[in-house]
Amino acid sequence: MAGIGFKIQKLLSEETYWGVMRGYFYSAVLSSGPWLTSILCFGALSMIGKARLGDSYEAFRAWVMYCYCASIVLTGGLQMAATRYMSDCIYRGEAEKIFSSFAALSLAAFPVQIAAGAAYLAWCGMPPAAVFGGAVLFAVISEIWICMIYLSAARDYLTLVWAHIIGFSLSFVATAKIGPAHGLAGFFFGYGLGQVVLLAMLLARIAMEFPVRGWWNRELFHFIRHNGVLLVTGFCYNAAIWVDKILFWIFRGESAAPGLQTCPYYDTPTYLAYVTVVPALSIFLIRVETSFYRSYRRYYYKIQQKFPFAEILAGKREMMDSLILSLYRLLVFQGPITALTIAYAYPIVRFFNLEATQLPLLRIAVLASFVHALFMVLMIFILYFDWKHLALRCCVLFCVANIALTCLFLRLDLSWQGYGWFFSGLIALGYGAQGFLKNMGELERITFTSQPLGSLRWDVKP
Q: How far is CA 70 from CA 39, 137, 148, 168, 194, in A?
A: 16, 12, 17, 20, 20
Give the Å distances, CA to CA, from 376 to 103, 241, 320, 366, 389: 28, 11, 18, 15, 16
CB neighbours of residue 453 within 10 Å: 7
Per residue of the chain (462 residues), what is the pLDDT tens digit?
Answer: 445 555 555 555 555 555 556 666 666 666 666 667 777 776 777 666 566 666 788 888 899 889 989 988 988 888 888 888 888 888 788 888 888 888 998 888 899 999 999 999 999 889 999 999 999 999 999 998 888 888 876 666 677 778 888 888 898 888 888 888 888 888 899 989 999 999 999 898 888 888 787 788 888 888 888 888 999 999 999 999 999 999 999 998 888 888 889 898 998 899 889 888 887 777 776 666 677 778 888 888 888 888 888 888 888 888 888 888 888 888 888 889 999 999 999 999 888 888 888 999 999 999 999 999 899 889 988 988 889 999 999 999 999 999 999 999 998 888 888 899 999 999 999 999 999 999 988 888 888 776 655 444 434 443
Alpha carbon 232 to chain centroid distance? 16
Measured CA to CA, the distance from residue 368 to residue 364 in angstroms comes to 6
> Mind giving me the DSSP string for 389-455?
HHHHHHHHHHHHHHHHHHHHHHTS-GGGTTHHHHHHHHHHHHHHHHHHHHHHHTHHHHHHHTS--TT
Cβ neighbour number for residue 91 with a 10 Å cutoff: 8
Residue 210, CA distances (Å) to 181, 202, 203, 216, 426 in order: 42, 12, 11, 14, 40
How far apart CA 346 and CA 412 sit, in angstroms, is 23
> Which residues on adjacent β-strands are paired with residue 257?
260
Nearest to 200 by CA among 150, 138, 132, 143: 143
- Region for residue 150 given its phi and psi (left: phi exceeds 0; alpha: psi -120 to 50; beta: otherwise): alpha
State how far the Cα of 248 lies from the Cα of 251, in Å rounded to an integer.
5
* Global pTM value: 0.86
